[in-house]
A and B are shown apart, each in its own frame.
Chain A
Amino acid sequence: MSEGVMKVLFTIPIGKGIPVRVAVVEMWGVMAFLIILAFYLTSNMKLVPSRKQVIAEFIVDSINKITKNFLGHYWHIFAPYLGTLFLFLLGLNLLGLIGLQPPTSNLNVTASFGVMSILILIVSTIVLKNPIGWFLSHFKPIPIVFPFKFLDYLTRILSLSARLFGNILAGVTVMELIYHGLIKAHIPPVGIPAALSLYFDIFDGVLQAVIFTFLSLIYLYEALEE
Chain B
Amino acid sequence: MTALAAGIAMLAGLGVGIGIGIATAKAAESVGRQPEAYGRILPLFFIGAALAEAVAIYSFVIAILLVLKA
Q: Is the CB of A162 within 8 A of B60?
A: yes
Binary flags per residue of A102-139, CB closer than 8 Å to B gives 1, else 0: 00000000000000000000000000000000000000
B37 at the interface (CB under 8 A from A): no
Contacts of B47 in A (CB 8 A): 218, 222
Q: What number of B residues sit within 8 Å (CB to CB) of A?
A: 13
Total A-B pairs in contact (CB under 8 Å)?
35
Q: Say whether, besides A162-B60, A166-B57, A69 and B39 are in contact (CB < 8 Å).
A: yes
B28-70 interface with A by 8 A CB criterion: 39, 43, 46-47, 50, 53-54, 57-58, 60-61, 64, 68
Q: Say whether, besides A69-B39, A155-B54, A162 and B46 are in contact (CB < 8 Å).
A: no
Q: Is the CB of A159 within 8 A of B54?
A: yes
Contacts of B58 in A (CB 8 A): 158, 162
Q: What number of A residues sit within 8 Å (CB to CB) of B?
A: 16
**Main SS of the interface on chain B?**
helix
Q: Is the CB of A159 within 8 A of B46?
A: no
A59 at the interface (CB under 8 A from B): no
A78 at the interface (CB under 8 A from B): no
Closest CB in chain B relative to A118 CB, distance in Å? 13
How far apart are the CA atoms of A222 and B46 in the complex, in Å? Answer: 12
Binary flags per residue of A162-185, CB closer than 8 Å to B gives 1, else 0: 110010010000000000000000
Q: Is the CB of B50 within 8 A of A159?
A: yes
Closest CB in chain A relative to B20 CB, distance in Å? 12
Binary flags per residue of A1-28, CB closer than 8 Å to B gives 1, else 0: 0100000000000000000000000000
15 A-B residue pairings within 8 Å (CB atoms): A69-B39, A70-B43, A158-B61, A159-B50, A162-B57, A162-B58, A162-B60, A163-B53, A163-B57, A166-B57, A166-B60, A211-B46, A215-B46, A215-B50, A218-B46
20 more contacts with CB within 8 A, not counting A155-B54, A166-B57, A166-B64, are A69-B39, A70-B43, A158-B61, A159-B50, A159-B53, A159-B54, A159-B57, A162-B58, A162-B60, A163-B53, A163-B54, A163-B57, A166-B60, A166-B61, A211-B50, A214-B46, A215-B46, A218-B43, A218-B46, A222-B47
